[in-house]
A and B are shown apart, each in its own frame.
Chain A
Amino acid sequence: MAVDPRRTALGLGRFGLGARPGDLVRAEPIEEVLRREILSGLVPLPGGPDLSAAATLLSALQAEEQSRKLARAASPDAPMPEGPPAPPIQERIYQAEVAARLGLARDAPVGFVERLVWFWANHFTVSVVRGAQLRVSAGAFEREAIRPHVLGRFRDLLLAAATHPAMLIYLDNVASVGPNSPAGQRQRKGLNENLGRELLELHTLGVDGGYTQADVTALARILTGWSVLRDGHAEGLPGATAFRRGAHEPGPVTLLGRTYLDIGPEQLRLALDDLATHPATARHVAFRLARHFVADDPPPALVARLTRTFLDQDGDLSRLALALIEAPEAWDPVQRKIRSPQEFLTATLRGLALAPDPRMVTGGLAALGQPYWSAPAPNGYPDDAGTWASPEGMRARLDLAARTGQLAAGTDPMALAEAVLGPLATDETRTALRRAESRPQGVALVLMAPEFQRR
């Protein structure tokens, strides 16, 4: 099969993290490269001395907050130590998690799997805006709940995400208690329906998926008792997820017309399994996947095909990814999607082979409105041009491109254009580059070119 360089350039941007110098010259068709990445079944795992399990991190945070409180209480008048205070644990961990992701993004040969990780982490949003517990555990959530399952089954991904400590904290399930459970009777506590609602609306069926308020309440009942243990609790490792029987609502629960008996933690697994295989879930996931990779308003035929794959293959997410790249609609030569800030910045670093400085990247992403794991609400970051190609957003991209042009001082703009745009570069872009009055300006023009902003 002859290699079409145009298709290579298109595929690297649409399904990958962007071309690095040399990537466009490939001996193999890009579809084959993408397919092999999925079939390998390998999901890179970020590593580092600080990247511990969520439970460890949450209990370390609790310990640090406790010892700070004790120190303050013991000597309230103690002079401030010299120099800037050490950053709190949640800042250190967050920076280490981001730095590890930047390393993965730099080293990925193509990065289709990494893009799937981003997609699913946004589908199951947990956000650091909620406070220190989320700041310390959002990266661990992505490592523990998302990565192990992005090439596995949706039902496993769903269960892992729904019961991860970070999600239980983020959507308030830690405090939700069955009103008729022993704990509920003793403490006069009760339901919190936040997680139950978002599981139906955002994670599975979708808002038009045909559920009612009664179903939200039913799922909230099933979720009662799923909590995160504190230090000193006898039931398990502090910071870890635990099913607290004494807080679980007793009795059978009917959700979407099916009754789930009170059989302990298995009740939730059965309910989530049924939600994971529901046709509305298949449609919802297929639509979001097509919208993310192909077009804000994805072709209905593509959505229908992905829906069928999801249902026929029992929610096998590798099969779903393969169906996506096998679909002719996914190879539309028109670049319809605007790169998200995260995609734009990552593609910039890869194209220029710049060593990423985590603090600068974090600052750049904040300026563009998309820091890691910081969506303002549980529905995650938006996925459309109306959001990311806003006037202020484009203005901020321009500023960032100008700054990057200065940082990449020695880079030849024409060479950069060949490396990242290749056959996608239009005559107008080439002309603009020839006329650039300086190298930094030329580099900024490559980064701002429509062929680079879009994918």
Chain B
Amino acid sequence: MTASCNVPPSRRAILGTAGALFAWGAIPRTAYAAPGARDARLVVVILRGGLDGLSAVAPLGDPAYADLRPGIALTRDGPAAALPLDGFFALHPALPTFARLYAARQALVVHAAATGYRERSHFDGQDVLESGQPSPGHTASGWLNRLVAALPAGEGIPPRTALGVGVVPPLILRGPAPVLGWAPPRLPRASDELARRVLGLYQARDPALAASLAHGLDTDALAKGGPKAAGGLRGIAEGAARLIAADDGPRIAALALDGWDTHADEGGATGRLAGLLGGLDGVFSAFAEILAPRWSDTAILVVTEFGRTARVNGTTGTDHGTGTVAFLLGGAVRGGRVLADWPGLAPAQLHEGRDLAPTLDVRAVAKGMAADLFGLSPAILGRSVFPGTEALRPVGGLVV
């Protein structure tokens, strides 16, 4: 095929069009903190579309790697060499902030990871990732919302709600714990008086709309003096980080970034995926900068619904796969290492002959974070937050 039909969009174009959604749960310290417990922040970043883990963190030490990926494989040297992590893995060069944090032992890579989902539909895969349920089709609530709901409430303080930012809240934060909404306003705000009257009408006639609008108005008050109307992905990340950094700000947040479905002209050290990863690195840097005063209590978990084929496809891209990477970063993370039970990339080692085989369950990682940051018991995590995973032990030692 001809190049003109697949001109890789510029990095600016990608960032301008990648949908970004933010959400967070507002948990004032006093609402849950036991005496002496840390006042932790947890941010979950969802990469929608299926991140190619073999390009984000390349197993350069695997003898099969380079041959599987002609045209897109990363290399140890050259003008855009991959950033070495250990003797085996190297990081994509578009992730310098992550590399800096890794060197400071504040960033961790989890490799050959996946949820329990083994089909290859984005939309089912995202449902499983965000709902935390063992199978698709359960979209009533997300695991981060149920995690908020499971946090013990403090005495005398009404439980604050979760907060969804973006016009469309991500599934991961939908559910029983009330969700507030906020997005950088694009329209002049309606007057409080009109808001009061509409709310009154809803309370009389339409409880569902009343609850939703009330939360939308509530969040607005919360966000006042917080983030200004933000431009671009970095700007929105800065706004979100400012909210989380506040004393009475939310303690749990989620954001979703679209556009990782790199079927064609994925690029290697430069190109389409490199542009997306550069945008993600900008989000990391915004969080690290603005959350600096809270950094030692902050953990950011980055996950995607599945990985991509180990082999490059016929159009210098990759199709839907299975195993991939997850990232953990923040001052609360025991970083500077790659957590992987490497399955290998030889033909017989690939899942169904085509994908990186998953050897680690990202839910075990999420459970480990939740257990160590918030003191949630394995029983609650295995029953309420990730139902049906009682047998899946939380990964320990992720948190400093």
**Interface residues, chain A, with chain B CB atoms under 8 Å away:** 62, 129-131, 133, 169, 171-172, 174-177, 179, 184, 189-194, 197, 201, 207, 213, 216, 227-228, 230-231, 233, 247, 363-364, 366-369, 376-379, 382, 385-396, 398-403, 426, 428-429, 432, 435-437, 441, 444-445, 448-450, 453-454
Q: Quick check: A429 and B209 within 8 Å, CB to CB?
A: no
Check if B206 sits within 8 Å of A393, measured CB to CB: no
Q: Chain A residue with minimal CB distance to B179?
A: A391
Q: Do B212 and A367 touch (CB < 8 A)?
A: no
| Interface-centre pick from A172, A179, A369 (highest chain B CB count, 10 A) | A172
Check if B205 sits within 8 Å of A367, measured CB to CB: no
Tell me the smallest distance from the CB of A70 to a CB of chain B, in Å. 15
Using A176-B315, A192-B263 as known contacts, say yes or no to A213 and B120 having CB atoms under 8 A apart.
yes
The answer for the CA separation of A449 and B213 in the assembled complex, in Å, is 12
Residues of chain B touching chain A, judged by Cβ–Cβ distance below 8 Å, are: 1-2, 4-7, 9, 13, 17-19, 48-49, 119-124, 136, 139, 164-169, 174, 179-183, 185-191, 193-195, 197-198, 200-202, 204-206, 208-209, 212-220, 258-259, 261, 263-265, 313-315, 317, 319-320, 352
Q: How far is the CA of A386 from the CA of B198 in the complex (A)?
A: 20
Is A448 a contact partner of B4 (Cβ separation < 8 A)? no
Q: Which residue of A lies closest to B182 (CB)?
A: A392
Contact between B121 and A207, CB atoms less than 8 A apart: yes
Q: Are B5 and A230 in contact (CB under 8 A)?
A: yes
SS of A interface (majority): helix
Q: How far is the CA of A445 from the CA of B200 in the complex (A)?
A: 11
With both beta carbons as reference points, the residue of chain B lying nearest to A381 in the complex is identified as B168
Q: Which residues of A contact B2 (CB under 8 A)?
A: 174, 230, 233
CB < 8 Å neighbour of A450 from B174, B197, B206, B216: B206
- Residues of B contacting A437 in the complex (Cβ-Cβ under 8 angstroms): 193
Q: In the complex the two chains form, is B313's CB within 8 Å of A228's CB?
A: no
Residues of chain A contacted by B180 (CB below 8 angstroms): 391
| Given A175-B1, A396-B183, A444-B194, 8 other A-B residues pairs in contact with their CB atoms under 8 A | A131-B7, A172-B264, A382-B168, A390-B164, A392-B216, A393-B216, A450-B206, A453-B206
* Sampled A-B contacts (12; CB under 8 Å): A175-B264, A192-B319, A201-B121, A207-B121, A213-B352, A227-B1, A231-B4, A389-B212, A391-B179, A426-B205, A441-B193, A445-B197
Given the interface pairs A193-B319, A230-B4, A441-B194, the reply to whether A399 lies near B314 with Cβ below 8 Å is no
**A441 and B263 in contact, given A192-B317, A367-B187, A368-B167 (Cβ under 8 angstroms):** no
Nearest B residue to A193 via CB reads B319
Contact of B216 among A129, A387, A394, A432 (CB under 8 A): A394
Q: Report whether A400 and B209 are in contact in the complex, using a CB–CB cutoff of 8 Å.
A: no
Tell whether, in the assembled complex, residue A387 and residue B197 are in contact, meaning their CB atoms are under 8 Å apart: no
Q: Nearest Cβ in chain A — how far from B211, in angstroms?
A: 8
A432 touching B200, Cβ below 8 Å: yes
The answer to whether B13 touches A131, judged by C-beta atoms less than 8 angstroms apart, is yes
Question: A432 CA to B121 CA in the complex, in Å?
Answer: 47
B98 to chain A, nearest CB (A): 25
- Is there an interface contact between A207 and B124, defined as CB atoms closer than 8 Å? yes
**Bound complex: CA A366 to CA B313 (Å):** 35
- Taken together as a complex, chains A and B put the C-alpha atoms of A111 and B66 apart, in Å, by 56
Q: Are A394 and B213 in contact (CB under 8 A)?
A: yes
| A-chain residues with CB within 8 Å of residue B179 when the two chains form the complex | 390-391
**Residue in A174, A233, A391, A401 whose beta carbon sits within 8 Å of that of B219 in the complex:** A391
Q: How far is the CB of A382 from chain B (nearest CB, A)?
A: 7
Contact B190–A398 (Cβ < 8 Å): yes
- Which A residues are CB-close (under 8 A) to B123? 201, 207, 377, 379
One of B208, B215, B313 near A193 (C-beta < 8 A): B313
Taken together as a complex, chains A and B put the C-alpha atoms of A207 and B264 apart, in Å, by 23
Q: Pick from B124, B188, B320: contact of A403, CB below 8 A.
A: B188
A383 to chain B, nearest CB (A): 12
Cβ B168 vs Cβ A432 within 8 A: no
The 8 Å CB contact of B201, one of A379, A387, A450, is A450
A194 B215 Cβ-Cβ under 8 A:
no
Report the Cα distance A192→B120, complex, angstroms. 14
Residues of B within 8 A of A396 (CB): 167, 183, 186-187
- Tell me the complex Cα distance, A377–B383, Å: 32
| Given known A-B contacts A429-B201, A445-B197, A172 and B263 have beta carbons under 8 A apart | yes
The answer to whether B264 touches A192, judged by C-beta atoms less than 8 angstroms apart, is yes
Please determine whether A402 and B202 come into contact, CB atoms closer than 8 angstroms: no
Q: B205 touching A129 by the CB < 8 A rule?
A: no
Please measure, in the bound complex, the distance between the C-alpha atom of A396 and the C-alpha atom of B214, giving whole angstroms. 12
**Contacts of A130 on B, CB cut-off 8 Å?**
17
Q: Enumerate chain B residues within 8 angstroms of A395, measured Cβ to Cβ.
A: 181, 213, 216-217, 219-220
Residues on B with C-beta less than 8 A from A402 are 188-191, 194
A207 to B125 alpha-carbon distance, docked (Å): 11
Most chain B CB within 10 A, of A233, A364, A391, A435, is at A391
In the complex, the answer to whether B205 meets A428 with C-beta atoms within 8 Å is yes
CA distance A385 to B208 in the complex (A): 10
Decide yes or no: A391 and B319 within 8 Å by CB, A403-B187, A448-B201 being known contacts: no
Given A133-B5, A172-B264, A194-B263, the answer on whether A391 and B212 have CB atoms closer than 8 Å is yes
| Contact indicator A172/B315 (Cβ below 8 Å) | yes
In the complex, are the beta carbons of B169 and A191 less than 8 A apart?
no
The one of B136, B168, B187, B352 in contact with A390, judged by C-beta atoms closer than 8 angstroms, is: B168
Which A residues touch B181, using CB under 8 A? 390-395
Among B5, B49, B208, which residue has the most Cβ atoms of chain A within 10 A? Answer: B5
Q: Is the CB of B186 within 8 A of A367?
A: yes
Q: Would A390 and B19 count as touching, CB distance under 8 A?
A: no
Contact partner of A399 (CB less than 8 A), chosen from B1, B136, B185, B258, is B185
Residue of A whose beta carbon sits closest to that of B201: A432
Is B212 within 8 A of A394, CB to CB?
yes
Complex CA distance for A275 and B235, rounded to whole angstroms: 45
Report the bound CA distance from A368 to B185 in whole Å. Answer: 10
Contact of B314 among A189, A391, A441 (CB under 8 A): A189
| Contact call A392/B5, Cβ cutoff below 8 A | no
- For A192, give its contact among B7, B124, B198, B314 (CB under 8 Å): B314
Check A392–B167 contact: CB distance below 8 A: yes
Task: Contacts A192-B264, A399-B189 given; indicate if A177 touches B194 (C-beta within 8 A).
Answer: no
Instruction: Considering the complex, give the chain B residue whose CB is closest to the CB of A393.
Output: B167
For A129, the chain B residues whose CB sits under 8 A away are 17-19, 258-259
